[in-house]
Structure 1
Amino acid sequence: MSLYIPSIARRQLLRGAASLAGLALAPAAIGGGMFASPSLADNPFSLGVASGEPEADGVVLWTRLAPKPFEPDGGMPPEPVAVAWEVAEDQSMRKVVRSGKALARPNAGHSVHVEVGGLKPGREYWYRFTAVGAQSPVGRTRTAPARGAVVDRLRLCFASCQKYEAGFYSAYAHMVEEAPDLILFLGDYIYEGNPGSKGAVRLHANPEPKDVAGYRVRYATYKSDPLLQAAHAIAPWMVTWDDHEVANDYGADRDQDSFDPAGFLRRRAAAYQVYYEHMPLRRRAAPVGPDMLLYRALDWGSLAQIQMVDDRQYRDGKPCQPAGPPKRGKLIGDCEERRDPTRSILGKPQEAWLLDALASSKAQWNLLAQQTLMAELQLGDPAQQTTRFYSSDGWDGYPANRARIVERWREAKVSNPIALGGDIHAFAAANLTETLDGPPVAATFVGGSISSLGGESDVFAAKNPHIKQFDGKVRGYGRLDLTPKDSRMTFRTVENALVATSPIRDLASFALENGRPGVHRA
């Protein structure tokens, strides 16, 4: 079942959920109306600044006023507050080239999303905000190169899975030193569970969130971390979500425990609103009730195109499930339903968009940014070679959808396709093929996790010969350096995410060869 084209009853549910979530996120212009100018004793920029969604002529600038970030209203009055913004060509903010004012409104958590235009393509800028007599830190951002422009290089870092209680964010300190052009975050920005994870190094500030107030406090917990703030301030971000931004292992209108779609969609509406409030996203992504348009593409001159997708909101239900109430657990056998050719993890409209984007891309490198390991991963006892088990929560629950993408890469002769992912709390590198023993069509890489704990590294090589690297014992991120000639993927791992600061090392490096698909050790 797809949630993308609603029935009449579904439309009524959407309207009700939107009302309950209190959504009115479209920005308002500052005219002659009254707005508050409070005097605040605490720093209103406690959650930092961010930029994102770079285009050739501009970027999105973000902040949220929250002098008391662990209160649901952030310690702000129930009125709009004027926020001034500036963009400069220098870090000292002396050569200001764009400036203006925006309203931070209470029904958007006093967040601000400024879509700056009129900038030059392919260059660095710096920005800051001023509100209620206080000035924010200065952030660094950059615009994308002009469409079709010849580009010498792109350095991007990609990350996922930053459970606050599971570890510290020392990986971000090293990512800042990389000075990337772009950062991709591929899901699990927050975790939604109650405080008190086993072995927690620090605790969530509130119980499991299920409404706007609860999710605001949970995001404030994460965004108060200074190393995460520094990473947001060093480069523009492009983001997507996975499950924990709402609830563990949810898909479409069901969480892992519920047969109450209406109740879950109310929760999803609240979670989506607060996600938007805290991410540097454009207005076109603003949610309407429990629906939020998050798939899009970014061109980096002629060098690269990034296709960013959402594999949670529109997916068909989990296959091979027993009758009765939902049960926890993801492991399934190779049932007929799993191989149903009509099943999609992306939903039909999003999948059609992606296939069209792949066929029309003129970029030299094509990066599919999605949430998890895209390659098949057979699980179970390696001694039982005839028994196959899979996770129902990822692409192995939707192999026909994966096959259609791989087929499109091959048939459309898409240049240098690479899939980037997160979710599995492991570093992984694998070939994507049309058959398990076929030639590589693309490479796929998972860049570990920032802090979330993984597991054993044995993926039963006899069942998964296409997987060339798998390590779930270390934390970190991926760094991708693209050039027209020599490109490289590097897995960067901290020595110990359970301490506040940790050295970093290279775990593995892979050469990306123009015109030669697949995984190749550097």
Structure 2
Amino acid sequence: MPSMARRQLLRGAASLAGLALAPAAIGGAVLAAPSLADNPFSLGVASGEPTANGVVLWTRLAPKPLQPDGGMPPEPVAVRWEIAEDQAMRKLVRSGKALAAPNAGHSVHVEVAGLKAGREYWYRFTAAGAQSPVGRTRTAPARGAQVDRLRLCFASCQKYEAGFYSAHAHMVEEAPDLILFLGDYIYEGAPGSKGAVRLHANPEPKDVAGYRVRYASYKTDPLLQAAHAVAPWMVTWDDHEVSNDYGGDHDQDGVSGETFLRRRAAAYQAYYEHMPLRRRTIPVGPDMLLYRRLDWGTLAQIQVVDDRQYRDGKPCQPPGPPHRGKLIGDCEERRDPARSILGQTQEAWLMDSLATSKAQWNLLAQQTLFSELQLGDPASQATRAYSSDGWDGYPASRARILRQWREAKVSNPIALGGDIHAFAAADLCEASDGPAVGAEFVGGSISSLGGGEGAYAAKNPHIKLYDGAVRGYGRVDLTPKDSRVTFRAVENALVPTSPIRDLASFALENGVPGVHRI
């Protein structure tokens, strides 16, 4: 439908759906007062989407988390929430009641407002006679405020079967102001990965009940819970939140139309139910408005994008049955300027965000490797190969963003990514022999296995580091003068706890684009 009509529909539907989650709904609701034998806060607590005067608080009641209904009655339940200026929860500044409704998996999304800008808070929930753990959160600085620093961690790809979450434990020790999670929060495959250290609890999910159980399998992990409880999160998805390598209205096997969109709708609903997101993102069927931006005073703006929901189909595909392979050669379709990985409406929103940003550092939070990555011999066109699943399948989209960075004089643009199960750092250039206009950092994977692929950097001189042999996350420390990006690698993700080390560090000088390893 036309973009304006779609936005109106989303806003209207989100407002109606949000009534089921808002404290105002408590007054006239018929509420259950269950007596639960098990802890209803088995999935922990979380916060996210900070603004200068507020934040989203999240939990989901699930005394039996691996059951589709979480072990909850089929009625709404009142949940009390509190937010305080101290960890002991003695200096309460806001409190209220929210509704945990069965049609939302008994999840709770409280949009707290009226807080002070740029400061820490602590929060907790109470329901059915039980009290949740206390979480730490913080608000963003005031609009236009001069800010001395921002520490954020960014991560992706945490396949439950592939490894343990010691990376999250170390992320907690960083005490970040913000955590960005850039996709593949869950993996949707059937249980039984090769070399699995633990197994998914249910078959491959294709409906809401199945996706709820899959999320619960992940969110019962205490190290992941601790990372959610230490700082507010900003999230986006990649493919595995729905189906491997899906794009738009079809999956990698060519399933499309109503059949696939029913699955996408179920996956999007479960994603909302388990993330600290605002009501404006509540999905309407298979549509969910996820792209948005976050301002951190004058220091930084983070543009969070969705490169799955609106993308055009894969280019350069052979005729016949669906082509499951990702690798493609070059072709005219791949370079078609009309093609977009973001869709026209989202791309226009991003261009406007870049043109109007007054921030000193501009971070593009996207899902995968933004840079071009030639996988064949760069000297031979015949053997040149690309991945059709990322930006190399949509080079015109990438070129428009790079051009906008230059033409709009965007201050210190940086792309952050995940997906490829590797750490990568690269200069972002409009032409292969041109100067850098920005920098890119991909922060490895929490647990999903990758490979070394050290030869990629040799074939792609703009890529300064590519290491898929280790797991971990990225840390970004921004200041007005300069900034630093550090890749943090755990020693062994196949054990429940693991030491960590700095794999590589990079200095970013204000006004000087490109990657500088230190």
Aligned to 2:104: 108
Identify the residue that residue 337 of structure 1 maps to in structure 2: 333
SS in structure 1 at match of 2:353: helix
> What is the aligned counterpart of 1:27 among 21, 25, 34?
21
Return the letter of the residue paired with 1:197: S
Distance 1:347 1:183 in 2: 26
Amino acid at match of 1:427: F
| Match in the other structure for 2:46 | 50
CA distance in 1, matches of 2:460, 2:158: 27
Unpaired runs of at least 5, structure 2: none
| Aligned twin of 1:182 | 178
Write out the 4+ residue segments of structure 1 that deviate beyond 3 Å after TM superposition: 3-8, 23-26, 381-386, 459-462
Local SS of the residue matching 2:514: strand
Conservation of the 8 A alpha-carbon contact between 2:118 and 2:139: yes
Give the Cα–Cα distance (whole angstroms) in 1 for the partners of residues 4 and 356 of structure 2: 29
CA distance in 1, matches of 2:431, 2:441: 19
Query: For residue 487 of structure 2, what is the aligned residue in structure 1?
Result: 491
**Residue 374 of structure 2: which of 373, 378, 390 is its match?**
378
Instruction: Note the 1:70-469 alignment, pairs <5 A.
Output: 70-380=66-376, 384=380, 387-469=383-465
SS in 2 for 1:517: coil
- After TM superposition, give the deviation of residue 455 of structure 1 in Å: 1.1
Aligned-pair RMSD on alpha carbons? 1.9
For residues 250-283 of structure 1, what are the alpha-carbon distances to aligned partners after superposition, in whole Å with 9 as ceiling and x for unaligned? 0000000124311000000000000000000000
The answer on whether the counterparts of 1:24 and 1:108 sit within 8 Å (CA) in structure 2 is no
Could you tell me how far apart the structure 1 residues matched to 2:274 and 2:256 are? 27
Report the CA distance shift for 1:460/1:158 in structure 2 as closer, same or farther (over 3 A): closer
Mapped partners of 2:432, 2:153: distance in 1: 29
Query: Conserved in 1, the CA contact under 8 Å of 2:20 and 2:101?
Result: no
Preserved contact between residue 51 and residue 139 of structure 2 (Cα < 8 Å) = yes
Offset at 1:383? 8.0
Query: In structure 2, how many angstroms separate the alpha carbons of the residues matched to 1:167 and 1:33?
Result: 43
Which AA in structure 1 matches 2:76?
P
* Separation of aligned partners in 2, 1:356 and 1:382: 35
Q: Which amino acid aligns with 2:21?
A: P
Q: How far apart are 1:456 and its partner, in Å?
A: 2.4
Counterpart CA distance in 2 for 1:462 and 1:278 is 41
| Cα distance per residue 1:286-329 (max 9 Å; x no partner) | 00000000000000000000000000000000000111221211
On the 8 A contact 1:382/1:460 being kept in 2, the answer is: no
Letter in 2 for 1:52: G
CA contact (8 A) 2:457 2:465 kept: no
Distance 1:120 1:7, change over 3 A: closer
Offset at 1:6?
11
User: How far, CA to CA, are the matches of 1:314 and 1:139 in structure 2?
Assistant: 34
> Post-superposition shift, 1:378?
0.2
1:11 aligned residue: none
3-state SS, counterpart of residue 480 of structure 1: strand
Would you say 1:512 and 2:511 are equivalent positions?
Answer: no
Distance in 2, Cα, partners of 1:395 & 1:4: 25
- Partners of 2:70 and 2:153 lie apart in 1 by 31
For residues 164-206 of structure 1, the C-alpha deviation after alignment (integer angstroms, 9 at most, x for no partner) is 0000000001000000000000000000000000000000000
**Secondary structure in structure 1 of the residue aligned to 2:301:** strand
Specify whether residues 223 and 345 from structure 1 end up closer, same or farther in structure 2 by C-alpha distance, changes over 3 A only: same
> Residues 65 and 153 (structure 1 numbering): CA distance in 2 closer, same or farther, change over 3 Å?
same
Specify every segment of 5 or more residues in structure 1 that has no aligned partner in the other structure, as ranges: 9-13
Task: Provide the C-alpha distance between the structure 1 equivalents of 2:190 and 2:456, rounded to a whole number of angstroms.
Answer: 34
Relative distance call for 1:97 and 1:283 in structure 2 (3 A) is same
Count of aligned pairs between the two proteins: 510
Contact 1:253–1:261 (CA under 8 A) maintained in structure 2? yes
Residue aligned with 2:448, SS: coil
SS at structure 2 position matched to 1:54: coil
Q: In the aligned structure 1, how far is the partner of 2:53 from the partner of 2:189?
A: 40
Cα offset for 1:7?
11
Q: CA deviation at 1:153?
A: 0.3
**Counterparts of 1:192 and 1:477 in 2: how far apart (Å)?**
22
Shift of 1:387: 2.3
Which whole-Å CA distance do the structure 1 matches of 2:5 and 2:302 have between them?
Answer: 32
> 1:204–1:221: 8 Å Cα contact kept in structure 2?
yes
Single out whichever of 146-155 and 24-33 deviates more from structure 2.
Answer: 24-33
| 1:11-26 correspondence to structure 2 within 5 Å | 26=20
Alpha-carbon separation, structure 1, partners of 2:394 and 2:243:
20
Query: Following the alignment from structure 2 to structure 1, what is the Cα–Cα distance between the partners of residues 364 and 171?
Result: 21
**Given residue 442 of structure 2, which amino acid in structure 1 is its aligned partner?**
V
Q: Please report how far the alpha carbon of residue 382 of structure 1 lies from its aligned counterpart in structure 2 after TM superposition.
A: 6.9
Q: Secondary structure at the match of 1:172?
A: helix
In structure 2, do the counterparts of structure 1 residues 410 and 381 end up closer, same or farther at CA, with 3 Å as the change threshold?
closer
TM-score normalised by the chain length of structure 1: 0.95
SS of equivalent to 2:313? coil
> In the aligned structure 2, how far is the partner of 1:439 from the partner of 1:387?
26
Q: Please state whether the residue corresponding to 2:383 is helix, strand or coil.
A: coil
Aligned CA distance change for structure 1 residues 424 and 25 (closer, same or farther; 3 Å): farther
Q: Is the 8 A contact 1:251 1:313 kept in 2?
A: yes
